[in-house]
Structure 1
Amino acid sequence: MDSDNENSVASSASSLQAPAPLPQQQQQQQQQQPHFHYQGSRHGHRHTRRHFGDELDVALMDDDIDMQSDGSDFNINTTDLTLNNGLNGTLHEGEPMAELGPIRKIPTEVLLLIFSQISHKSELVPLLRVCKRWSNLIVELLWFRPSLMTSRAMSGLQQVMSMNPNETYWNYRPFIRRLNLSFIYERVDSDFLNLFEGCYNLERLTLVNCSRLSSESICNVLQNCSKLQSIDMTGVKSIDDDIFEALGQNCPRLQGLYAPGCKSVTRRGISAIYNSCPMLKRMKLSDNLSLTDEDLWCFVNNCKSLIEVDVHNCVNLTNDSLITLFVGLEQLREFRISQNMNVTDQLFRSIPEDAQFDRLRIIDFTGCTQITDQSVERIVQAAPRLRNVVLSKCTMVTDSSLRSLARLGKNLHYVHLGHCTHITDLGIIILARSCHRLQYIDLACCQQLTNNSLIELAHLARLRRIGLVKCLNITDLGIHNFVIRRGHDDTLERVHLSYCTNLGLSPILDLLRACPRLTHLSLTGIRAFLRPDILCYCREPPSDFNEHQRALFCVFSGQGVRKLREFLINLYETRPEEFNSTRLIDGQPLVNLVAGIPIRGFPVQIPPQQAQGQQQRQQQQDNFHAGLMDRARRQLGDNGLFNGFGIGVPMNNNNNNIAEVQGDGQGQVQQARVEANQDVVMEANVDADVDVVEVDSE
């Protein structure tokens, strides 16, 4: 909320105490006055101060919040709201319908729908002054999801919640249905969370990164929360059996349980969930060493609605329970089981050949090193609508797996192949030509890849993120060709080039000039950028990095990308000699890549002899790439998957070209929690000889 609105709301506060009884004469006068008060009238203002107190104003200090910021967050249930405040859907008890004005004849349900369309809380606050009926409805909308985006908002809410409910006009706890403390996690402790004990209508509780909370405080809030549907405890360190048992005893409607890192939870707590929460749909129990095949069987048998299962690093699970999971959960959409050596090809050989997982969209087998090309082929056959495939550190995967993934065609949007060291340019060409809607591809540490892969990836019109960490064969010429083919209004948003040590300043300037939407660029370990006048624009390294890691760290985000672009442009205009690459390609130096691209503002001409040599090397690159494409076409045959692009033809990558039809049927289903929530994505899958791990924070 802006300062004017905030001051006007605060000015209506006069007392923290409950309103004192009025003398009988004043009560009679007030009864003779109409209930409807215009929000601009002084009388309405006095009415608000006298009857509501200032606890509402204090709690709504930051009330200029977009109520529709989360489209799924407010799904109005008028029956619940009217029952909460005792209206029961009636109008004005004891008053004949004929004596009511037109606006007071509007049914409660219709009023709630009208109020819910108001986008900002600041626009609702003045309506509290109209009449008691309106105020009872509006206060529920205001407290439905308290705004806790800032420390100031937290202090205001803390002041109100600390008051005795008998001293406030309303008891606000039953109004709260969404409680998200993730924006103020650094200040949240057990005492603050205990203030929300008694919020028995709570439906969603988000405690992401609230590491100072105790198990007891979480259990206190969960008491009598029979309507709770989702709880997210990502980053909470005190997750134990008591919390799981409290969920089982109090929350039979629980649908979402996010408890990664729940190492202290034993089978006692796990059994409380699958025995008492049959409506469970989403479950994240990563790093739990107590979860066994028997427990997973019970989840499958008791919780038939499961659509998301994350058992990352649950090392006691084997093929036996996973077969039951795939066959028994018909609604399954997301499955993650990372770092598990027990998962083998036998899992997919045991699944019936006619089994179809049409709803499966996301599958993650990170670090399941026993997975081979046979497993990938079977997955694609059974789940033809996969959108997100993660095979990072599946070291036995080869180009054959990429040929299988190519059969997903337009459905495949995200693919993670970090540390799949056996894949080559041929596999990338096949994948890129068949899956033209790819938006994200991670190829970290795929050290057999060369510039030919970059040339092919350049044709992906929807590509937004590309990870090439430690792809040592990527050179200035590869980035140069990549930029030329994509054009100069590129869709790329995040590019990871850390430890591509053959890169210099020139190709990065090419990239920055061609990608106006770029918000993240990682160049860690590239010597040309480890200089003070450039490092001043990169963000701070993580606090847990050692001295060596901090010295190599070079990541630009947000405004840092813009400042780097401006600095390099100015550097090129004032000292162009710094952009003369000393890299040798076929025994010849590659000079002034920037000048070879028709980008506005770069008029420098390459000397004729150097230009001729560069053209010859470019022709050799194109000829070699054409040979790879012929091989890819022969391998795919005539199955219609291969989309041919002309060699050396720049791609006009404007908005009109990428505005394709989004697909039909279930192809329009958006990938869930690409989160949010919400989320931290590990960028650099760096192998043992490099000890810097970059964190790519959304």
Structure 2
Amino acid sequence: MSSPTSLEEYSNSGESTNKAPESGNSISPNNVNAHHYHNDDMNNFIMDNEYNDYEELRKSLIVKKRLSSKSKDESRLDRYQIDKNSLLRLPTEILLQIFHHLDRRDLYALLTVCKEIADLIIEILWFRPNMQNDGSFKRIKEVMELPRDKTHWDYRLFVKRLNLSFMTKLVDDELLGLFVGCPKLERLTLVNCAKLTRFPITKVLQNCERLQSIDLTGVTDIHDDIINALADNCPRLQGLYAPGCSNVSEEAIIKLLRSCPMLKRVKFNASNNITDECILVMYQNCKSLVEIDLHGCEQVTDLNLKRIFLELSQLREFRISNAPGITDKLFELIPEGFILEKLRIIDITGCNAVTDKLVEKLVSCAPKLRNVVLSKCMQITDASLRALSQLGRSLHYIHLGHCGLITDYGVSSLVRFCHRIQYIDLACCSQLTDWTLVELANLPKLRRIGLVKCSLITDSGILELVRRRGEQDCLERVHLSYCTNLTIGPIYLLLKSCPKLTHLSLTGISSFLRREITQYCRDPPPDFNEHQKSLFCVFSGHGVNQLRNYLNQVMEERTYQIDQGDIQALFHERRRRFLGGNNNARAAAGGDMDLDDDPINDDTIARRFGQLQQQMRADAAEAGGNNGLERFMLQDPAMADLNRDIFRGITEGDMGPDEMREHFQLLIRTHQQQRLQQQQQAAAATPTGRQRQANPQNAPQIDQTPVFPNAERAGQIIEEDEDVEMEQVDLFPRNTSP
């Protein structure tokens, strides 16, 4: 049942059991409207990092009550002979604390009791109108459309927080015009209200001397009218978010900065009218700034920004992008030993003149940085990552997209000291290999990984990431688009090991561009062309769960088919084909030798296949859970090469049960031959090997553990850089003893 919007509706509904007293303080509900904002909803939305909206309201009401005449209060109590046990004798602080814990229905009932209680409750209900759904939005609009002489209160006098960003499709100039004349308005949030024009916004700002914050993100019609209205009417302004201010003149911005000295947060984006002169006025007049966002302000240089970092001691966040005038001189005025104690976030995206020298200076003067964005700073190298590693536990967020000069060594030095990193983006860092994934696996709190267009990333890196991080991993978002060497098997294991994964991007990876898989991905953006749409493959939210369930089902079906197949019948069929002269099949099975003389005969293959299955199941039973098979494939290095081929055969193509069993038999046969060849070569290389070759009947079984395919490259890396320790390049350590 929806809540009533007026006391009259509430009384007629028969829900109110409280009757007004006979004294003159009672309120007739015939023409009184009220709307309640539920306190739980209030705590869910936070603006400008303020967490104590209700506490501020409560304190203001207490002050207002205390400012009233004490004699008038006493005379009122004597006049109406209020009983000593009456609720009205409680202090205002206690009453407000009680009201804070009441639900909507109780507050509406209390509004009909007496004027003193109603005066307190009505501000609680209206200081922040709740318009988060269609029903409440419609009811508030109906109340605001009533003539002011038809309501008991003028509700505009109570509004302090006005947030219209929940119902942006219904917000237009007419609706905003209903809130013209709110003298107590402190915060105005119009995020994504694209239908609004500058004229009603300007009218709402008239006489708003208490306005502290306004958010115009997504409003397209921002001109000098709005900025001048803020400068003329809002001297207490602390936060201004106007990212679409390209039409605002330099004069209007300078006027605002001079008229609002209490500014703390400023966001001007994509404007060529923000110049060095604006920056000069900013640090001269606004000494309390904690956040400056100048993304896309290409005319800004480091001429006056130097003074920002030197003189604004409270600065916490600084952002700028695509400004060619930002160079290594940005921090040159900061003396040695001077610490930017408050600075936590810095973003210099696309400032191509920046080099490692700036990053080294930044780390030395801001040792408590949490978020660092160096995306598209093309001159950044591993030296910057080694400098950033000095941030240690402070660093949580790092964005290095398009920094094509960084390598695995830089990522390794960063990760090994900054073990609290939660987000790392390395998109288009084309020199990174599987080694980077091995290093990232050591970050216990890592939630987001960006490796878009890192084409050297392979299945081995994903498998190592999964193996080292284990079950129930905390990863939430993984971006692997255009990592073209990936196949389905490792991604399947990644999905199984990461139950919290809510976003997985695999655009451009051919293994996933199949109708049975792409049916679970989200729709491509409407501005994509046909080629981009054909490559698009991104899974979000429920789509990730659908992909996970689909791959689980496929794996279970294929495993069941293989387990239930008649392997011996398959071997007899293949023997018949060999004896029938199928030279192609014979060559595919392992060479030109006769099967009758082949020491690796059908019985050997069947026995080997059975041993593998038994060993897998034994390890699965020992490890527990439903994915013991996958654990075995990851933990046993002897199965590393075979594992990738098996996954590729299972997940790609349309093999039937017979073809799948035949495929497995061929893989096992080839694998067994390779093992025997390695054993023979190893035996021949030893002094006693020659004697054993002379007497092969007494030769013992030699098991040589195969290495991962990247091991040779790891050895090359060691030879190239002798200063790197062995443990840094041992990408895939073996569990078995040498």
Q: TM class, shorter-chain normalised?
A: 0.7 to 0.9
SS of match in other structure, 1:239: coil
Q: What are the within-5 Å matches in structure 2 for residues 139-158 of structure 1?
A: 139-158=122-141
The range that moved more, 616-625 or 95-104, is 616-625
Could you tell me how far apart the structure 1 residues matched to 2:510 and 2:731 are? 35
Residue 167 of structure 2 corresponds to residue 184 of structure 1: yes
Residue 40 of structure 2 corresponds to residue 68 of structure 1: no
Larger RCO (CA under 8 A, 6+ residues apart): 1
Q: CA deviation at 1:261?
A: 2.1
Q: Residues 470 and 613 of structure 1: is their aligned pair in 2 closer, same or farther, counting only changes over 3 Å?
A: closer
Residue 557 of structure 2 corresponds to residue 574 of structure 1: yes
Q: Residues 305 and 498 of structure 1: is their aligned pair in 2 closer, same or farther, counting only changes over 3 Å?
A: same
Q: What are the within-5 Å matches in structure 2 for residues 674-693 of structure 1?
A: none
Q: CA deviation at 1:128?
A: 2.4
**What is residue 116 of structure 1 aligned with on the other side?**
100
Could you tell me how far apart the structure 2 residues matched to 1:306 and 1:143 are? 31
Q: CA deviation at 1:628?
A: 7.0
- Asked whether the 8 Å contact 1:13–1:49 carries over to 2, the reply is no
**What is residue 12 of structure 1 aligned with on the other side?**
10
Residue 235 of structure 2 corresponds to residue 257 of structure 1: no
Could you tell me how far apart the structure 2 residues matched to 1:271 and 1:565 are? 55
**What is residue 51 of structure 1 aligned with on the other side?**
29
**What is residue 609 of structure 2 aligned with on the other side?**
none
Could you tell me how far apart the structure 2 residues matched to 1:179 and 1:341 are? 39
Q: What are the within-5 Å matches in structure 2 for residues 411-426 of structure 1?
A: 411-426=394-409
Could you tell me how far apart the structure 2 residues matched to 1:617 and 1:403 are? 35
SS of match in other structure, 1:495: strand
Letter in 1 for 2:625: R
Mind listing any 5+ residue stretches in structure 1 that lack a counterpart?
16-37, 580-590, 637-641, 651-698
Could you tell me how far apart the structure 1 residues matched to 2:114 and 2:234 are? 36
Could you tell me how far apart the structure 2 residues matched to 1:455 and 1:468 are? 13
Could you tell me how far apart the structure 2 residues matched to 1:389 and 1:108 are? 48
Letter in 2 for 1:611: M
Q: What are the within-5 Å matches in structure 2 for residues 4-43 of structure 1?
A: 12=10, 14=12, 41=17, 43=19
**What is residue 324 of structure 2 aligned with on the other side?**
341
The range that moved more, 318-327 or 349-358, is 349-358
Q: CA deviation at 1:131?
A: 2.8
- Asked whether the 8 Å contact 1:82–1:88 carries over to 2, the reply is no
Could you tell me how far apart the structure 2 residues matched to 1:573 and 1:543 are? 37
Q: Residues 378 and 532 of structure 1: is their aligned pair in 2 closer, same or farther, counting only changes over 3 Å?
A: same
**What is residue 133 of structure 1 aligned with on the other side?**
116
Could you tell me how far apart the structure 2 residues matched to 1:186 and 1:368 are? 37
Could you tell me how far apart the structure 2 residues matched to 1:627 and 1:433 are? 22
Letter in 1 for 2:43: Q
Residue 639 of structure 2 corresponds to residue 611 of structure 1: yes
- Asked whether the 8 Å contact 1:525–1:554 carries over to 2, the reply is yes
C-alpha offsets along residues 18-54 of structure 1, whole Å, 9 cap, x if unaligned? Answer: xxxxxxxxxxxxxxxxxxxx99626359999942646
Letter in 1 for 2:227: F
Superposed CA RMSD in Å reads: 3.7
Q: Residues 122 and 545 of structure 1: is their aligned pair in 2 closer, same or farther, counting only changes over 3 Å?
A: farther
Could you tell me how far apart the structure 1 residues matched to 2:409 and 2:529 are? 39
C-alpha offsets along residues 265-293 of structure 1, whole Å, 9 cap, x if unaligned? Answer: 00221022111100000000011111111
Could you tell me how far apart the structure 1 residues matched to 2:449 and 2:561 are? 27
More helix by share: 2
**What is residue 95 of structure 1 aligned with on the other side?**
77
Within the candidate set 81, 102, 107, 2:61 is matched to 81
Superposition TM-score, scaled by structure 1 size: 0.79
Could you tell me how far apart the structure 1 residues matched to 2:5 and 2:561 are? 55
Letter in 1 for 2:135: R
Q: CA deviation at 1:490?
A: 0.7
SS of match in other structure, 2:401: coil
- Asked whether the 8 Å contact 1:64–1:122 carries over to 2, the reply is no
Kindly name which structure, 1 or 2, has the bigger radius of gyration based on alpha carbons: 2
Q: CA deviation at 1:75?
A: 3.4
- Asked whether the 8 Å contact 1:215–1:239 carries over to 2, the reply is yes
Q: CA deviation at 1:211?
A: 0.9
C-alpha offsets along residues 516-554 of structure 1, whole Å, 9 cap, x if unaligned? Answer: 111111112222222222222222222222222222222
Q: Residues 76 and 138 of structure 1: is their aligned pair in 2 closer, same or farther, counting only changes over 3 Å?
A: same
Could you tell me how far apart the structure 1 residues matched to 2:558 and 2:210 are? 66
- Asked whether the 8 Å contact 1:626–1:647 carries over to 2, the reply is no
Within the candidate set 302, 312, 315, 1:329 is matched to 312
- Asked whether the 8 Å contact 1:523–1:555 carries over to 2, the reply is yes
Residue 204 of structure 2 corresponds to residue 221 of structure 1: yes
C-alpha offsets along residues 152-209 of structure 1, whole Å, 9 cap, x if unaligned? Answer: 2221111111111211121111111111111111211111111111111111111111
SS of match in other structure, 1:561: helix
Could you tell me how far apart the structure 2 residues matched to 1:117 and 1:250 are? 36
Could you tell me how far apart the structure 1 residues matched to 2:290 and 2:450 are? 29
Q: Kindly tell me the number of residue pairs found equivalent between the two proteins.
A: 605
Q: Residues 469 and 606 of structure 1: is their aligned pair in 2 closer, same or farther, counting only changes over 3 Å?
A: closer
SS of match in other structure, 1:310: strand
**What is residue 88 of structure 2 aligned with on the other side?**
104
C-alpha offsets along residues 634-693 of structure 1, whole Å, 9 cap, x if unaligned? Answer: 689xxxxx999997599xxxxxxxxxxxxxxxxxxxxxxxxxxxxxxxxxxxxxxxxxxx
Q: Residues 110 and 623 of structure 1: is their aligned pair in 2 closer, same or farther, counting only changes over 3 Å?
A: farther
Q: CA deviation at 1:74?
A: 3.0
Q: CA deviation at 1:73?
A: 3.5
Could you tell me how far apart the structure 2 residues matched to 1:350 and 1:469 are? 37
Could you tell me how far apart the structure 2 residues matched to 1:423 and 1:10 are? 69
C-alpha offsets along residues 598-637 of structure 1, whole Å, 9 cap, x if unaligned? Answer: 683346587999726459665564786699799999689x
Could you tell me how far apart the structure 1 residues matched to 2:109 and 2:719 are? 70
**What is residue 197 of structure 1 aligned with on the other side?**
180
Within the candidate set 436, 456, 479, 2:419 is matched to 436
Residue 346 of structure 2 corresponds to residue 363 of structure 1: yes
Could you tell me how far apart the structure 2 residues matched to 1:460 and 1:314 are? 35
Q: Residues 612 and 431 of structure 1: is their aligned pair in 2 closer, same or farther, counting only changes over 3 Å?
A: closer
Q: Residues 507 and 87 of structure 1: is their aligned pair in 2 closer, same or farther, counting only changes over 3 Å?
A: same
- Asked whether the 8 Å contact 1:39–1:45 carries over to 2, the reply is no
**What is residue 193 of structure 2 aligned with on the other side?**
210
Q: Residues 6 and 79 of structure 1: is their aligned pair in 2 closer, same or farther, counting only changes over 3 Å?
A: closer
Q: Residues 237 and 278 of structure 1: is their aligned pair in 2 closer, same or farther, counting only changes over 3 Å?
A: same
Q: Percent identity?
A: 45
**What is residue 503 of structure 2 aligned with on the other side?**
520
Could you tell me how far apart the structure 2 residues matched to 1:556 and 1:408 are? 34
Letter in 2 for 1:258: Y
Letter in 2 for 1:393: K
Within the candidate set 350, 363, 367, 1:384 is matched to 367
- Asked whether the 8 Å contact 2:521–2:543 carries over to 1, the reply is yes
- Asked whether the 8 Å contact 1:261–1:286 carries over to 2, the reply is yes
Could you tell me how far apart the structure 1 residues matched to 2:94 and 2:233 are? 33
